[in-house]
Structure 1
Amino acid sequence: MTDLSDLLRVAAAAVDEAAALVKDMALEAVEAKGERDMVTNIDLAVEDRVRTFLGRETPEIGFYGEEGGDAGATGRPLTWVLDPVDGTANLTHGIRLCGVSLGLVRGQEAVAGVIDLPFLDERYSAGRGLGAFAQGQQLRVRTPGRLDQAIVGIGDYAVGLNAEEKNKQRFALTQLLAEEVLRIRMLGSAAIDLCWAASGRLDACIALSNHPWDMAAGVVIAREAGAVVMDLDGSEHNLSSSATIAVTPSLQAPLINLLARLESSPSSATPVVGDAS
Protein backbone atom coordinates (compact mmCIF):
# COMPACT_ATOMS: atom_id res chain seq x y z
CA MET A 1 0.00 0.00 0.00
CA THR A 2 1.63 3.24 -1.17
CA ASP A 3 -1.25 5.60 -2.05
CA LEU A 4 -1.18 8.50 0.42
CA SER A 5 -4.96 8.75 0.60
CA ASP A 6 -5.19 5.09 1.58
CA LEU A 7 -2.37 5.45 4.09
CA LEU A 8 -4.04 8.48 5.64
CA ARG A 9 -7.16 6.40 6.22
CA VAL A 10 -5.05 3.75 7.96
CA ALA A 11 -3.35 6.45 10.04
CA ALA A 12 -6.71 7.92 11.02
CA ALA A 13 -7.95 4.53 12.18
CA ALA A 14 -4.80 4.00 14.24
CA VAL A 15 -5.12 7.44 15.80
CA ASP A 16 -8.80 6.77 16.58
CA GLU A 17 -7.70 3.95 18.87
CA ALA A 18 -4.84 5.97 20.33
CA ALA A 19 -6.95 9.03 21.10
CA ALA A 20 -9.58 6.92 22.84
CA LEU A 21 -6.90 5.50 25.12
CA VAL A 22 -5.50 8.94 25.96
CA LYS A 23 -8.96 10.26 26.77
CA ASP A 24 -10.31 7.30 28.72
CA MET A 25 -7.35 5.53 30.31
CA ALA A 26 -6.54 6.29 33.95
CA LEU A 27 -3.17 7.84 34.64
CA GLU A 28 -1.63 5.29 37.01
CA ALA A 29 2.15 5.44 36.58
CA VAL A 30 4.62 8.23 35.87
CA GLU A 31 8.26 7.21 35.54
CA ALA A 32 11.37 9.30 34.96
CA LYS A 33 13.18 8.69 31.68
CA GLY A 34 15.75 11.45 32.10
CA GLU A 35 16.24 14.70 33.96
CA ARG A 36 12.82 16.42 34.15
CA ASP A 37 11.43 14.06 31.52
CA MET A 38 8.83 11.37 32.02
CA VAL A 39 6.81 8.56 30.52
CA THR A 40 3.41 7.35 31.69
CA ASN A 41 1.41 4.16 31.42
CA ILE A 42 -0.71 5.97 28.82
CA ASP A 43 2.28 6.76 26.58
CA LEU A 44 3.35 3.12 26.67
CA ALA A 45 -0.14 1.71 26.09
CA VAL A 46 -0.80 4.03 23.15
CA GLU A 47 2.50 3.22 21.47
CA ASP A 48 1.96 -0.51 21.91
CA ARG A 49 -1.59 -0.28 20.48
CA VAL A 50 -0.56 1.79 17.46
CA ARG A 51 2.51 -0.34 16.73
CA THR A 52 0.39 -3.48 16.76
CA PHE A 53 -2.35 -1.93 14.61
CA LEU A 54 0.04 -0.59 11.97
CA GLY A 55 2.10 -3.78 11.95
CA ARG A 56 -1.06 -5.64 11.01
CA GLU A 57 -2.42 -3.11 8.50
CA THR A 58 0.82 -2.00 6.82
CA PRO A 59 3.49 -4.65 7.49
CA GLU A 60 5.61 -3.31 4.65
CA ILE A 61 6.09 0.06 6.41
CA GLY A 62 8.56 0.56 9.25
CA PHE A 63 7.62 1.95 12.64
CA TYR A 64 9.49 4.27 15.00
CA GLY A 65 8.01 5.31 18.33
CA GLU A 66 9.26 7.86 20.82
CA GLU A 67 9.23 5.37 23.67
CA GLY A 68 10.27 2.12 21.97
CA GLY A 69 12.41 3.40 19.12
CA ASP A 70 12.96 1.46 15.92
CA ALA A 71 10.59 -1.43 15.30
CA GLY A 72 11.52 -2.45 11.78
CA ALA A 73 12.15 1.06 10.47
CA THR A 74 15.72 0.60 9.23
CA GLY A 75 15.98 -0.03 5.51
CA ARG A 76 12.32 0.68 4.76
CA PRO A 77 11.41 3.35 2.20
CA LEU A 78 8.45 4.46 4.37
CA THR A 79 8.29 4.71 8.16
CA TRP A 80 5.50 5.56 10.55
CA VAL A 81 6.74 7.90 13.31
CA LEU A 82 4.68 8.18 16.49
CA ASP A 83 4.59 10.41 19.51
CA PRO A 84 1.99 8.58 21.62
CA VAL A 85 1.38 11.60 23.85
CA ASP A 86 2.89 14.87 22.71
CA GLY A 87 2.66 17.02 25.82
CA THR A 88 3.13 14.33 28.49
CA ALA A 89 4.05 16.89 31.15
CA ASN A 90 0.79 18.72 30.45
CA LEU A 91 -1.16 15.46 30.69
CA THR A 92 0.33 14.55 34.07
CA HIS A 93 -0.70 17.95 35.47
CA GLY A 94 -4.24 17.93 34.12
CA ILE A 95 -3.48 20.45 31.37
CA ARG A 96 -5.45 19.28 28.38
CA LEU A 97 -3.03 20.56 25.75
CA CYS A 98 -1.67 17.27 24.45
CA GLY A 99 -2.19 14.99 21.50
CA VAL A 100 -1.36 11.89 19.53
CA SER A 101 0.95 12.60 16.59
CA LEU A 102 1.43 10.01 13.82
CA GLY A 103 3.55 10.94 10.81
CA LEU A 104 4.65 9.08 7.72
CA VAL A 105 8.22 9.65 6.60
CA ARG A 106 9.92 8.94 3.29
CA GLY A 107 13.68 9.42 3.61
CA GLN A 108 14.16 12.84 5.20
CA GLU A 109 10.70 14.15 4.34
CA ALA A 110 7.40 13.92 6.18
CA VAL A 111 4.75 13.09 3.59
CA ALA A 112 1.59 12.53 5.65
CA GLY A 113 0.34 13.00 9.18
CA VAL A 114 -2.60 12.76 11.53
CA ILE A 115 -2.74 14.58 14.87
CA ASP A 116 -5.58 14.21 17.36
CA LEU A 117 -6.09 16.49 20.37
CA PRO A 118 -8.46 14.24 22.33
CA PHE A 119 -9.39 16.66 25.11
CA LEU A 120 -10.13 19.44 22.61
CA ASP A 121 -12.03 17.19 20.16
CA GLU A 122 -9.82 18.36 17.29
CA ARG A 123 -8.39 16.20 14.50
CA TYR A 124 -5.85 17.43 11.94
CA SER A 125 -4.55 15.58 8.90
CA ALA A 126 -2.60 16.18 5.72
CA GLY A 127 -0.83 14.41 2.90
CA ARG A 128 1.70 15.90 0.53
CA GLY A 129 -0.23 17.47 -2.33
CA LEU A 130 -3.59 16.62 -0.73
CA GLY A 131 -4.10 19.68 1.49
CA ALA A 132 -4.52 19.97 5.26
CA PHE A 133 -7.83 19.52 7.04
CA ALA A 134 -9.41 19.80 10.47
CA GLN A 135 -12.94 18.67 11.26
CA GLY A 136 -13.60 18.36 7.52
CA GLN A 137 -12.56 21.92 6.72
CA GLN A 138 -9.49 22.77 4.66
CA LEU A 139 -6.88 24.73 6.58
CA ARG A 140 -5.13 27.90 5.50
CA VAL A 141 -2.65 30.02 7.42
CA ARG A 142 -3.40 33.59 8.41
CA THR A 143 -1.62 36.44 6.61
CA PRO A 144 -0.73 39.24 9.04
CA GLY A 145 1.41 41.95 7.52
CA ARG A 146 3.84 42.63 10.35
CA LEU A 147 5.53 40.83 13.23
CA ASP A 148 3.87 43.17 15.71
CA GLN A 149 0.52 41.71 14.59
CA ALA A 150 1.64 38.13 15.11
CA ILE A 151 1.15 35.57 17.86
CA VAL A 152 4.15 33.22 17.91
CA GLY A 153 4.40 29.88 19.67
CA ILE A 154 7.74 28.71 21.03
CA GLY A 155 8.90 25.26 22.07
CA ASP A 156 9.67 24.23 25.62
CA TYR A 157 12.97 25.18 27.18
CA ALA A 158 15.53 22.39 27.18
CA VAL A 159 15.93 19.87 29.99
CA GLY A 160 18.48 17.12 30.50
CA LEU A 161 21.95 16.97 28.99
CA ASN A 162 23.46 20.37 28.11
CA ALA A 163 20.18 22.11 28.99
CA GLU A 164 21.93 25.17 30.43
CA GLU A 165 23.87 25.76 27.21
CA LYS A 166 20.91 25.05 24.92
CA ASN A 167 18.69 27.40 26.89
CA LYS A 168 20.98 30.38 26.29
CA GLN A 169 19.72 30.39 22.71
CA ARG A 170 16.12 29.79 23.79
CA PHE A 171 16.22 32.68 26.26
CA ALA A 172 17.71 34.91 23.58
CA LEU A 173 14.93 33.90 21.18
CA THR A 174 12.28 34.71 23.78
CA GLN A 175 13.79 38.15 24.36
CA LEU A 176 13.99 38.96 20.66
CA LEU A 177 10.40 37.90 20.09
CA ALA A 178 9.18 39.82 23.14
CA GLU A 179 10.59 42.99 21.59
CA GLU A 180 8.96 42.44 18.19
CA VAL A 181 5.77 40.34 18.17
CA LEU A 182 2.25 40.85 19.46
CA ARG A 183 2.33 37.92 21.89
CA ILE A 184 4.38 34.79 22.67
CA ARG A 185 2.78 31.48 23.62
CA MET A 186 4.39 28.33 25.07
CA LEU A 187 1.81 25.54 24.80
CA GLY A 188 4.00 22.56 25.70
CA SER A 189 3.22 20.52 22.59
CA ALA A 190 4.96 20.78 19.22
CA ALA A 191 1.99 19.02 17.60
CA ILE A 192 -0.38 21.73 18.81
CA ASP A 193 2.02 24.50 17.81
CA LEU A 194 2.21 23.23 14.23
CA CYS A 195 -1.51 22.49 13.93
CA TRP A 196 -2.45 25.90 15.27
CA ALA A 197 0.00 27.56 12.91
CA ALA A 198 -1.76 25.67 10.12
CA SER A 199 -5.18 26.80 11.31
CA GLY A 200 -4.22 30.45 11.86
CA ARG A 201 -4.43 30.47 15.64
CA LEU A 202 -0.67 31.07 15.62
CA ASP A 203 1.12 33.05 12.94
CA ALA A 204 4.40 31.23 13.48
CA CYS A 205 5.86 28.60 15.76
CA ILE A 206 9.52 28.10 16.57
CA ALA A 207 11.12 25.04 18.15
CA LEU A 208 14.90 24.95 18.46
CA SER A 209 14.77 21.17 18.16
CA ASN A 210 13.67 18.60 15.60
CA HIS A 211 12.78 15.23 17.07
CA PRO A 212 10.97 13.32 14.29
CA TRP A 213 8.23 11.96 16.58
CA ASP A 214 7.42 15.52 17.66
CA MET A 215 7.53 17.13 14.24
CA ALA A 216 6.83 14.73 11.36
CA ALA A 217 3.03 14.89 11.33
CA GLY A 218 2.79 18.57 12.21
CA VAL A 219 5.30 19.64 9.58
CA VAL A 220 3.28 18.22 6.70
CA ILE A 221 0.04 19.64 8.15
CA ALA A 222 1.53 23.14 8.45
CA ARG A 223 3.14 22.96 5.01
CA GLU A 224 -0.05 21.78 3.30
CA ALA A 225 -1.94 24.67 4.95
CA GLY A 226 0.40 27.13 3.28
CA ALA A 227 3.01 27.70 5.97
CA VAL A 228 6.69 27.96 5.13
CA VAL A 229 8.43 25.28 7.19
CA MET A 230 12.13 25.97 7.54
CA ASP A 231 15.31 25.51 9.53
CA LEU A 232 16.89 28.21 11.65
CA ASP A 233 18.82 29.65 8.69
CA GLY A 234 15.73 29.86 6.48
CA SER A 235 16.51 26.74 4.44
CA GLU A 236 13.75 24.22 3.75
CA HIS A 237 13.02 21.99 6.72
CA ASN A 238 13.64 18.26 6.69
CA LEU A 239 14.19 15.66 9.38
CA SER A 240 17.89 16.51 9.58
CA SER A 241 17.25 20.20 10.31
CA SER A 242 18.44 21.64 13.62
CA ALA A 243 15.21 23.56 14.28
CA THR A 244 11.56 23.46 13.23
CA ILE A 245 9.96 26.76 12.26
CA ALA A 246 6.57 27.19 10.61
CA VAL A 247 5.57 30.69 9.56
CA THR A 248 2.92 32.28 7.39
CA PRO A 249 4.60 33.43 4.14
CA SER A 250 3.88 37.10 4.80
CA LEU A 251 6.16 36.99 7.85
CA GLN A 252 8.91 34.76 6.50
CA ALA A 253 11.39 37.53 5.65
CA PRO A 254 11.10 39.54 8.88
CA LEU A 255 11.26 36.35 10.96
CA ILE A 256 14.42 35.20 9.17
CA ASN A 257 15.95 38.60 9.89
CA LEU A 258 15.07 38.25 13.57
CA LEU A 259 16.43 34.71 13.79
CA ALA A 260 19.71 35.82 12.21
CA ARG A 261 20.37 37.80 15.39
CA LEU A 262 20.45 34.65 17.51
CA GLU A 263 23.81 33.39 18.68
CA SER A 264 24.58 29.81 17.77
CA SER A 265 24.37 27.04 20.35
CA PRO A 266 24.42 23.20 20.31
CA SER A 267 21.87 21.59 18.01
CA SER A 268 18.97 19.49 19.26
CA ALA A 269 18.42 17.67 15.99
CA THR A 270 17.76 13.93 16.03
CA PRO A 271 19.03 11.55 13.34
CA VAL A 272 16.52 10.65 10.66
CA VAL A 273 14.76 7.33 11.10
CA GLY A 274 14.44 4.76 8.38
CA ASP A 275 16.09 4.67 4.97
CA ALA A 276 17.34 8.08 3.79
CA SER A 277 17.52 6.97 0.18
Structure 2
Amino acid sequence: MSDLGALLQIASAAVDRASSLVSRMAVGEVRPKGDRDMVSDIDLAVEQDLRDFLSRETPELGFLGEEQGSVKPARQLTWALDPVDGTANLVNGIPLCAVSLGLVSGESPVLGVIDLPFLGQRFKAAQGLGAHADKQRLTPSTRDELSKAVIAIGDYAVGAHAQKRNELRFAITQLLAERALRVRMLGSAAIDLAWVASGRLDGSIALSNHPWDMAAGTAIAREAGALVLDADGQNHDLLSAATIAVAPGLRQPLLQLLADARKQVAE
Protein backbone atom coordinates (compact mmCIF):
# COMPACT_ATOMS: atom_id res chain seq x y z
CA MET A 1 0.00 0.00 0.00
CA SER A 2 1.14 3.57 -0.62
CA ASP A 3 2.57 5.67 2.21
CA LEU A 4 -0.55 6.53 4.23
CA GLY A 5 1.29 9.22 6.17
CA ALA A 6 2.09 11.10 2.99
CA LEU A 7 -1.43 10.57 1.63
CA LEU A 8 -2.88 11.88 4.90
CA GLN A 9 -0.91 15.09 4.40
CA ILE A 10 -2.27 15.41 0.85
CA ALA A 11 -5.80 14.72 2.08
CA SER A 12 -5.44 17.38 4.77
CA ALA A 13 -4.27 19.91 2.19
CA ALA A 14 -7.23 19.03 -0.02
CA VAL A 15 -9.68 19.47 2.84
CA ASP A 16 -8.06 22.81 3.71
CA ARG A 17 -9.03 23.98 0.23
CA ALA A 18 -12.53 22.60 0.56
CA SER A 19 -13.16 24.10 3.98
CA SER A 20 -12.02 27.51 2.76
CA LEU A 21 -14.45 27.33 -0.15
CA VAL A 22 -17.36 26.28 2.05
CA SER A 23 -16.63 29.05 4.54
CA ARG A 24 -16.33 31.92 2.07
CA MET A 25 -18.64 31.02 -0.83
CA ALA A 26 -22.27 32.01 -1.03
CA VAL A 27 -24.58 29.00 -1.27
CA GLY A 28 -25.64 30.20 -4.72
CA GLU A 29 -28.15 28.22 -6.73
CA VAL A 30 -29.71 25.19 -5.07
CA ARG A 31 -30.93 22.55 -7.53
CA PRO A 32 -33.23 19.59 -6.81
CA LYS A 33 -31.56 16.18 -6.89
CA GLY A 34 -34.23 13.53 -6.59
CA ASP A 35 -37.07 13.54 -4.07
CA ARG A 36 -36.42 16.09 -1.31
CA ASP A 37 -32.68 16.15 -1.99
CA MET A 38 -30.57 19.00 -3.30
CA VAL A 39 -27.17 20.11 -4.54
CA SER A 40 -25.77 23.62 -4.15
CA ASP A 41 -23.18 25.62 -6.04
CA ILE A 42 -20.86 25.02 -3.08
CA ASP A 43 -21.14 21.22 -3.42
CA LEU A 44 -20.23 21.41 -7.10
CA ALA A 45 -17.38 23.90 -6.65
CA VAL A 46 -15.75 21.94 -3.84
CA GLU A 47 -15.96 18.63 -5.68
CA GLN A 48 -14.49 20.08 -8.87
CA ASP A 49 -11.66 21.79 -7.00
CA LEU A 50 -10.67 18.66 -5.07
CA ARG A 51 -11.07 16.44 -8.12
CA ASP A 52 -8.56 18.67 -9.96
CA PHE A 53 -6.22 18.98 -6.96
CA LEU A 54 -6.10 15.26 -6.20
CA SER A 55 -5.67 14.31 -9.86
CA ARG A 56 -2.54 16.47 -9.88
CA GLU A 57 -1.20 15.30 -6.51
CA THR A 58 -2.10 11.60 -6.83
CA PRO A 59 -2.69 10.83 -10.52
CA GLU A 60 -2.30 7.11 -9.86
CA LEU A 61 -5.34 6.98 -7.54
CA GLY A 62 -9.02 6.76 -8.38
CA PHE A 63 -11.59 9.33 -7.35
CA LEU A 64 -15.27 8.99 -6.42
CA GLY A 65 -17.34 12.09 -5.70
CA GLU A 66 -20.97 12.24 -4.66
CA GLU A 67 -21.97 14.76 -7.32
CA GLN A 68 -20.00 13.77 -10.42
CA GLY A 69 -19.26 10.09 -9.99
CA SER A 70 -15.97 8.27 -10.42
CA VAL A 71 -12.81 8.30 -12.45
CA LYS A 72 -10.44 5.33 -12.61
CA PRO A 73 -12.73 3.34 -10.27
CA ALA A 74 -10.84 0.09 -10.82
CA ARG A 75 -7.72 1.41 -9.10
CA GLN A 76 -6.78 -0.27 -5.81
CA LEU A 77 -6.79 3.03 -3.90
CA THR A 78 -9.66 5.46 -4.48
CA TRP A 79 -10.50 8.79 -2.90
CA ALA A 80 -14.14 9.10 -1.78
CA LEU A 81 -15.45 12.65 -1.32
CA ASP A 82 -18.62 14.18 -0.01
CA PRO A 83 -17.98 17.88 -0.71
CA VAL A 84 -20.69 18.98 1.73
CA ASP A 85 -22.19 16.31 3.94
CA GLY A 86 -25.31 18.01 5.27
CA THR A 87 -26.28 20.22 2.33
CA ALA A 88 -29.82 20.65 3.69
CA ASN A 89 -28.31 22.01 6.90
CA LEU A 90 -25.95 24.31 5.00
CA VAL A 91 -28.58 25.91 2.79
CA ASN A 92 -30.78 26.56 5.83
CA GLY A 93 -28.01 28.21 7.83
CA ILE A 94 -27.53 25.29 10.22
CA PRO A 95 -23.78 24.90 10.91
CA LEU A 96 -23.86 21.08 11.13
CA CYS A 97 -22.18 20.18 7.86
CA ALA A 98 -18.85 18.65 6.94
CA VAL A 99 -16.31 18.08 4.21
CA SER A 100 -15.59 14.35 4.18
CA LEU A 101 -12.63 12.87 2.28
CA GLY A 102 -11.78 9.21 2.65
CA LEU A 103 -9.39 6.80 0.99
CA VAL A 104 -10.57 3.30 0.20
CA SER A 105 -8.41 0.24 -0.41
CA GLY A 106 -10.45 -2.49 -2.05
CA GLU A 107 -13.62 -2.56 0.05
CA SER A 108 -12.14 -1.04 3.21
CA PRO A 109 -11.59 2.62 4.20
CA VAL A 110 -8.00 3.20 5.34
CA LEU A 111 -7.79 6.98 5.75
CA GLY A 112 -10.11 9.87 6.45
CA VAL A 113 -10.23 13.62 7.00
CA ILE A 114 -13.44 15.31 8.14
CA ASP A 115 -13.68 19.06 8.61
CA LEU A 116 -16.57 20.99 10.16
CA PRO A 117 -15.98 24.47 8.67
CA PHE A 118 -18.48 26.38 10.82
CA LEU A 119 -17.51 24.67 14.09
CA GLY A 120 -13.74 24.83 13.65
CA GLN A 121 -13.27 21.09 14.12
CA ARG A 122 -11.00 18.76 12.14
CA PHE A 123 -10.78 14.99 12.54
CA LYS A 124 -8.27 12.79 10.73
CA ALA A 125 -6.87 9.28 10.79
CA ALA A 126 -4.94 6.73 8.78
CA GLN A 127 -4.70 3.03 9.40
CA GLY A 128 -1.97 2.36 11.96
CA LEU A 129 -1.27 6.06 12.57
CA GLY A 130 -3.98 6.88 15.11
CA ALA A 131 -6.97 9.20 14.97
CA HIS A 132 -6.65 12.84 16.00
CA ALA A 133 -8.49 16.12 16.33
CA ASP A 134 -5.74 18.71 15.98
CA LYS A 135 -2.99 17.08 18.08
CA GLN A 136 -5.32 15.35 20.52
CA ARG A 137 -5.72 11.61 20.11
CA LEU A 138 -9.32 10.51 19.70
CA THR A 139 -10.86 7.85 21.90
CA PRO A 140 -14.49 6.68 21.97
CA SER A 141 -16.83 6.68 24.93
CA THR A 142 -16.41 4.08 27.67
CA ARG A 143 -20.13 3.83 28.42
CA ASP A 144 -21.63 0.35 28.56
CA GLU A 145 -25.28 1.09 29.41
CA LEU A 146 -27.70 2.22 26.73
CA SER A 147 -29.71 4.14 29.33
CA LYS A 148 -26.72 6.47 29.74
CA ALA A 149 -25.90 6.76 26.03
CA VAL A 150 -26.50 9.44 23.40
CA ILE A 151 -27.17 7.78 20.04
CA ALA A 152 -27.43 9.51 16.65
CA ILE A 153 -29.63 8.20 13.86
CA GLY A 154 -29.41 8.89 10.14
CA ASP A 155 -32.02 10.77 8.15
CA TYR A 156 -35.26 9.05 7.29
CA ALA A 157 -35.62 7.64 3.77
CA VAL A 158 -37.06 9.68 0.92
CA GLY A 159 -37.86 8.77 -2.66
CA ALA A 160 -39.22 5.50 -4.00
CA HIS A 161 -40.66 3.13 -1.39
CA ALA A 162 -39.75 5.52 1.43
CA GLN A 163 -42.78 4.54 3.49
CA LYS A 164 -41.74 0.88 3.51
CA ARG A 165 -38.06 1.67 4.04
CA ASN A 166 -38.89 3.91 6.99
CA GLU A 167 -40.73 1.21 8.93
CA LEU A 168 -37.49 -0.11 10.38
CA ARG A 169 -36.16 3.42 10.97
CA PHE A 170 -39.31 4.32 12.92
CA ALA A 171 -39.05 1.12 14.98
CA ILE A 172 -35.41 1.89 15.79
CA THR A 173 -36.33 5.44 16.78
CA GLN A 174 -39.10 4.18 19.07
CA LEU A 175 -36.85 1.68 20.82
CA LEU A 176 -34.07 4.25 21.23
CA ALA A 177 -36.57 6.65 22.76
CA GLU A 178 -37.46 3.92 25.26
CA ARG A 179 -33.92 2.71 26.05
CA ALA A 180 -31.31 5.42 25.38
CA LEU A 181 -30.55 8.54 27.37
CA ARG A 182 -31.06 10.74 24.30
CA VAL A 183 -31.57 10.38 20.54
CA ARG A 184 -30.07 12.84 18.03
CA MET A 185 -30.52 13.38 14.29
CA LEU A 186 -27.74 15.72 13.16
CA GLY A 187 -28.19 15.43 9.39
CA SER A 188 -24.57 14.51 8.62
CA ALA A 189 -23.19 10.97 8.67
CA ALA A 190 -19.65 12.36 8.72
CA ILE A 191 -20.35 14.28 11.92
CA ASP A 192 -22.05 11.26 13.48
CA LEU A 193 -19.00 9.07 12.84
CA ALA A 194 -16.43 11.68 13.86
CA TRP A 195 -18.28 12.37 17.09
CA VAL A 196 -18.50 8.66 17.91
CA ALA A 197 -14.73 8.54 17.38
CA SER A 198 -14.25 11.43 19.80
CA GLY A 199 -16.71 10.24 22.45
CA ARG A 200 -19.18 13.08 21.93
CA LEU A 201 -21.69 10.44 20.82
CA ASP A 202 -21.83 6.90 22.13
CA GLY A 203 -23.11 5.42 18.88
CA SER A 204 -24.69 6.16 15.51
CA ILE A 205 -27.10 4.19 13.35
CA ALA A 206 -27.38 4.74 9.61
CA LEU A 207 -29.31 2.30 7.44
CA SER A 208 -27.24 3.32 4.42
CA ASN A 209 -23.69 3.02 3.17
CA HIS A 210 -22.52 5.34 0.40
CA PRO A 211 -18.70 5.48 0.22
CA TRP A 212 -18.64 9.28 0.02
CA ASP A 213 -20.72 9.47 3.21
CA MET A 214 -19.04 6.75 5.24
CA ALA A 215 -15.45 6.10 4.13
CA ALA A 216 -13.71 8.91 6.00
CA GLY A 217 -15.76 8.55 9.17
CA THR A 218 -15.37 4.78 9.24
CA ALA A 219 -11.58 5.07 9.00
CA ILE A 220 -11.51 7.69 11.77
CA ALA A 221 -13.89 5.86 14.10
CA ARG A 222 -12.07 2.55 13.74
CA GLU A 223 -8.64 4.04 14.23
CA ALA A 224 -9.92 5.78 17.38
CA GLY A 225 -11.06 2.44 18.79
CA ALA A 226 -14.80 2.52 18.06
CA LEU A 227 -16.51 -0.38 16.31
CA VAL A 228 -18.04 0.06 12.86
CA LEU A 229 -20.41 -2.76 11.98
CA ASP A 230 -23.15 -3.82 9.63
CA ALA A 231 -26.61 -4.14 11.19
CA ASP A 232 -26.06 -7.86 11.84
CA GLY A 233 -22.86 -7.22 13.78
CA GLN A 234 -20.47 -8.24 11.00
CA ASN A 235 -17.49 -6.02 10.27
CA HIS A 236 -18.50 -3.06 8.09
CA ASP A 237 -17.14 -2.63 4.58
CA LEU A 238 -18.29 -0.94 1.39
CA LEU A 239 -20.71 -3.80 0.65
CA SER A 240 -22.52 -3.48 3.98
CA ALA A 241 -26.17 -2.42 3.97
CA ALA A 242 -25.91 -0.28 7.10
CA THR A 243 -23.28 1.66 9.04
CA ILE A 244 -23.39 1.17 12.81
CA ALA A 245 -20.66 2.95 14.79
CA VAL A 246 -20.56 2.30 18.50
CA ALA A 247 -18.39 2.50 21.58
CA PRO A 248 -17.10 -1.03 22.34
CA GLY A 249 -19.04 -1.34 25.60
CA LEU A 250 -22.34 -0.72 23.84
CA ARG A 251 -21.94 -3.24 21.03
CA GLN A 252 -24.28 -5.87 22.42
CA PRO A 253 -27.12 -3.62 23.67
CA LEU A 254 -27.19 -1.65 20.42
CA LEU A 255 -27.17 -4.78 18.25
CA GLN A 256 -29.93 -6.24 20.43
CA LEU A 257 -31.98 -3.09 19.87
CA LEU A 258 -31.57 -3.45 16.11
CA ALA A 259 -32.62 -7.09 16.27
CA ASP A 260 -35.66 -6.16 18.34
CA ALA A 261 -36.59 -3.46 15.83
CA ARG A 262 -36.38 -5.93 12.92
CA LYS A 263 -38.57 -8.38 14.84
CA GLN A 264 -41.09 -5.64 15.58
CA VAL A 265 -41.35 -4.70 11.89
CA ALA A 266 -41.69 -8.35 10.84
CA GLU A 267 -44.62 -9.04 13.20
Whether the TM-score (by the shorter chain) exceeds 0.5 is yes
The aligned residue for residue 259 of structure 1 is 258
Q: Secondary structure at the match of 2:236?
A: coil
Structure 1 partner of 2:232: 233
CA deviation after TM superposition for structure 1 residue 262, in Å: 2.2
SS for the counterpart of 2:222 is helix
* Aligned mates of 1:38, 1:145 — CA distance in 2: 38
- Residues 39 and 264 (structure 1 numbering): CA distance in 2 closer, same or farther, change over 3 Å? farther
1:184 maps to 2:183: yes
* Paired AA for residue 136 in structure 1: K
1:211 match:
210
Distance 1:220 1:247 in 2: 13
2-structure distance, mates of 1:259, 1:82: 29
1:180 Cα deviation from its structure 2 partner = 0.5
Letter in 1 for 2:202: D
AA of the residue aligned to 1:113: G
More helix by share: 2
Cα offsets for 1:31-78 (capped at 9, x unmatched): 0010100000000000000000000000000000000001222x2010
* Partner deviation per Cα, 1:73-111 (whole Å, 9 max, x = no partner): 2x2010000000000000010000001000000111000
Counterpart for residue 43 of structure 2: 43
Unaligned 5+ segments in structure 2 are none
Kindly provide the amino acid, as one letter, of the partner of residue 28 in structure 2: E
Could you tell me how far apart the structure 2 residues matched to 1:68 and 1:54 are? 15
Query: Per-residue CA shift, 1:175-219, capped at 9, x if unaligned?
Result: 011110000000000000000001111000010110110000000
User: How far does residue 261 in structure 1 lie from its aligned partner after superposition?
Assistant: 1.2
Q: Which stretches in structure 1 are left out of the alignment for 5+ residues?
A: 266-277
Kindly indicate whether the alpha-carbon contact (under 8 Å) linking 1:91 and 1:97 is maintained by their aligned counterparts in 2.
Answer: yes
Aligned mates of 2:263, 2:105 — CA distance in 1: 29
1:16 is aligned to 16
Q: CA deviation at 1:145?
A: 2.5
Identity of aligned residues (%): 62
Distance apart, 1:264 and its partner CA:
7.6
**Are the aligned partners of 1:169 and 1:264 in contact in 2 as well (CA < 8 Å)?**
no
The separation in 2 between residues aligned to 1:169 and 1:255, in whole angstroms, is 14
Within a 5 Å distance, the mapping from 1:98-177 to structure 2 comes to: 98-177=97-176
The structural deviation recorded for 1:254 is: 1.2
1:238 positional shift: 0.4
Count, aligned residues = 264
Amino acid across the alignment from 1:25? M
**Letter aligned with residue 183 of structure 2:** I
TM-score by length of 2: 0.97
Structure 2 counterpart of 1:245, which letter?
A: I
**Aligned match of 1:196:** 195
Over the residues paired in the alignment, what is the CA RMSD in angstroms? 1.2
Alignment of 1:242-257 (within 5 A): 242-257=241-256
